[in-house]
Structure 1
Amino acid sequence: MKLFITISSLLLIMLGASGSQALTVRFHPQAVVDGDDVTLGAIASITPVGKRSRSLAGISLAAAPAPGSELRMQSRDLWARLCRLEPDLAGADHQGADVVVIRRAGVPFGPRKVQTLLKKYLQSQQQRFPGMTLNLVNLQLPRPFVLPKGTLRTEIRPSDPDILHSRSFNILFRVEDRPVRNLTVRGQIEALAEVPTMIRDLPRGSILRATDLQLVRRNIVPMRNPCLDLNQLIGKKTRRTLRRGQPLTRSMVVSPPVIKRGEMVTISLQHGGLSISTRGIARHNGEIGDTIPVRNSNSQRDILCKVIAPGQVKVGF
């Protein structure tokens, strides 16, 4: 009889233990997390599996390290934090590693990827500069770094609104629409284009002809106000002596006057339905659109007139 009671008690104890198994938290020696927080479920296994264990698994115990970095934490400290958050766990069992090494997963991003980003940005700007080929030069690329996992979006801004004269580029990295890194890359842009260039020396005051010029491919960024159209130079007068092999800019030439000082011109006046014309003598050289003084041949008085064509000026009100 005594033996039967003992066996029955053991059976009851065993059945009771299996029916209401105590909660156990076993810490892993190593864990990998993706997000900004270290949750219990990421660094430990919780048994028995059920509603309570799933609830505990989502509790945040620490901030995750930077992407690609590691964090070492004592399991006793982690357990103490958990018990402060969930006081009813004070009597539960915790086992496993004494130290948990937590690594934050991430996406490696090296200098080659940064260079590719900048090249794609430059290609998107290419249509603003017809007839030119844009290249990045003297880039100071960063060392490799790690970004958080997630949908990546980048924003690139040149240091100068005129990107041809930019000395650096700012890259803002966003993951899931949240800024995660701000990077500045130093570098310059080379803009190659066909530039009118002198074939021979020409003295100041010469009229440029097509035989004086040829197109040479060169970087126009260092040039001020470059001219890329031969037709805009042919027939213009040189403002200074030009040398063979010298690239031309618009400031090096001037349009020859269509009216020269001392030239007899026709002065026209229109006001309402009234139209009058007379003759006069130009007192200065003038190009189309210039305002110059003209001496009226009848009154011998100087009047200001606008040059409208070779040998023709008009008086405006």
Structure 2
Amino acid sequence: MTVPRVYVQSMLLAVMCLGQFVTEAVSLQEAQATSIAESGPEYRAGMKRSESRPTVHQLHPDQIQRSLLQVLEREMAGKVQAIHAVVVDPLDPMKVPAGHIGLKVSPNGVEEGLGRRAFHVQININGEQWQTISAIADVSASIDAVVPTRVIQIDSLLEAEDVTLHRIKLTDLDHQLITNVKDAIGKSAVRPLQTNNPIRLGMIKKPYAVRKGDRVSIEARHGGLSIQVVGLARSNGELGQTTTVANVDSGKELRAKIVGPGAVRVEF
């Protein structure tokens, strides 16, 4: 059987092309290997430098806010029930070196109280001082204050069911609000008190034990001798205060100490 000449020529051409392709591929692999071998130390050094770059962490505003709250809680201990602080500067996270982050917060100057305040924040990394920044926060607080459960008229006595506690947002630490219901019960209103409005110290007082025009029992003491007569109170007075009374029989006015409701004592 005779193979056509055209077929033989095609096969020879294919073999020649394949050989050339294999030779070029081997040459390319050798060139790449040589290039890697020649640049090996520099390449490895570059990789090492890249790996040795320090990792960067971030300090977030909420971390600063938590540290501020700790300082404010110590500053206002015993004065309020709850403290709130919102950081308004910085608002964005800041880059810090890798490591344990510690914050030391101190007020800017002698500034205290509520409202917008500035603080110094010392940033420590692994116990070492790294940088100090300024932070600004809006500080507010609230307190449980005594409020009336109903309208209380002037001179009315406050009973246990007349008062309760409500959480009140403060505008000033010097609030003069009554925070214990025991301090309000049994007192009388200096002015009308509105429902759920916090009661301040100047709004209530000790009730009058003696009122002007009331008939009172006057006890006159001298040594071991005691005499009681009826008198009229010339003015209002609280327990322990001194008031003027008049003897009903003689009309004589005396200065007497109020010792109880409707009772006064005169010492000779």
Is TM > 0.5 for Structure 1 vs Structure 2?
yes
d(CA) in 2 for partners of 1:225 and 1:121? 24
Write out aligned runs for 1:1-317 (5 A): 109-125=59-75, 127-129=77-79, 132-136=81-85, 138-143=86-91, 144=93, 154-157=104-107, 160=111, 163=113, 165=114, 167-171=116-120, 173=122, 181=132, 183-193=134-144, 195-221=145-171, 224-262=175-213, 263-267=215-219, 274=223, 277-278=226-227, 279=229, 281-295=232-246, 300-303=252-255, 305-313=256-264
Q: TM-score, normalised by structure 2?
A: 0.56
1:199 partner letter: T
User: Does structure 1 conserve the Cα–Cα contact (< 8 Å) formed by 2:147 and 2:165?
Assistant: yes
User: Does structure 2 conserve the Cα–Cα contact (< 8 Å) formed by 1:172 and 1:179?
Assistant: no
d(CA) in 2 for partners of 1:104 and 1:302? 90
Query: Match of 1:200, SS?
Result: coil
Q: Which has the larger radius of gyration?
A: 2
What stretches of structure 2 of length at least 5 have no aligned partner? Answer: 1-52
2:150 partner letter: R
**How much has 1:256 moved relative to structure 2?**
1.5
- Compared with structure 1, are the counterparts of its residues 295 and 241 closer, same or farther at alpha carbon in structure 2 (3 Å cutoff)? same
User: Does structure 1 conserve the Cα–Cα contact (< 8 Å) formed by 2:89 and 2:135?
Assistant: no
2:107 partner letter: R
User: Does structure 1 conserve the Cα–Cα contact (< 8 Å) formed by 2:151 and 2:193?
Assistant: yes
d(CA) in 2 for partners of 1:147 and 1:179? 9
Query: Match of 2:147, SS?
Result: strand
d(CA) in 2 for partners of 1:145 and 1:268? 81
Residue deviations 1:180-199 (CA, integer Å, cap 9, x gap): 53635232222242x33333
d(CA) in 1 for partners of 2:82 and 2:267? 46
User: Does structure 2 conserve the Cα–Cα contact (< 8 Å) formed by 1:126 and 1:133?
Assistant: no
What stretches of structure 1 of length at least 5 have no aligned partner? Answer: 1-102
Residue deviations 1:272-317 (CA, integer Å, cap 9, x gap): xx466555543221112323334467692443x4434334445689
**How much has 1:248 moved relative to structure 2?**
2.4
Query: Match of 1:119, SS?
Result: helix
Residue deviations 1:136-184 (CA, integer Å, cap 9, x gap): 2x542325556799995624238555x4x46424335276797953635
Residue deviations 1:62-102 (CA, integer Å, cap 9, x gap): xxxxxxxxxxxxxxxxxxxxxxxxxxxxxxxxxxxxxxxxx
**How much has 1:115 moved relative to structure 2?**
0.5
User: Does structure 1 conserve the Cα–Cα contact (< 8 Å) formed by 2:218 and 2:266?
Assistant: no
**How much has 1:118 moved relative to structure 2?**
0.8
d(CA) in 2 for partners of 1:276 and 1:182? 78
d(CA) in 2 for partners of 1:110 and 1:315? 73
Instruction: Give % identity.
Output: 20
Name the count of aligned residue pairs: 209
- Compared with structure 1, are the counterparts of its residues 282 and 117 closer, same or farther at alpha carbon in structure 2 (3 Å cutoff)? same
Residue deviations 1:17-45 (CA, integer Å, cap 9, x gap): xxxxxxxxxxxxxxxxxxxxxxxxxxxxx
User: Does structure 2 conserve the Cα–Cα contact (< 8 Å) formed by 1:257 and 1:285?
Assistant: yes
1:168 partner letter: R
- Compared with structure 1, are the counterparts of its residues 290 and 114 closer, same or farther at alpha carbon in structure 2 (3 Å cutoff)? same
**How much has 1:217 moved relative to structure 2?**
2.7
1:284 partner letter: S
Please report the RMSD computed on the Cα atoms of aligned residues, expressed in angstroms.
4.4
d(CA) in 2 for partners of 1:190 and 1:311? 45
- Compared with structure 1, are the counterparts of its residues 177 and 275 closer, same or farther at alpha carbon in structure 2 (3 Å cutoff)? farther
Q: TM-score, normalised by structure 1?
A: 0.49
d(CA) in 2 for partners of 1:123 and 1:250? 25
d(CA) in 1 for partners of 2:207 and 2:185? 11
**How much has 1:259 moved relative to structure 2?**
1.9
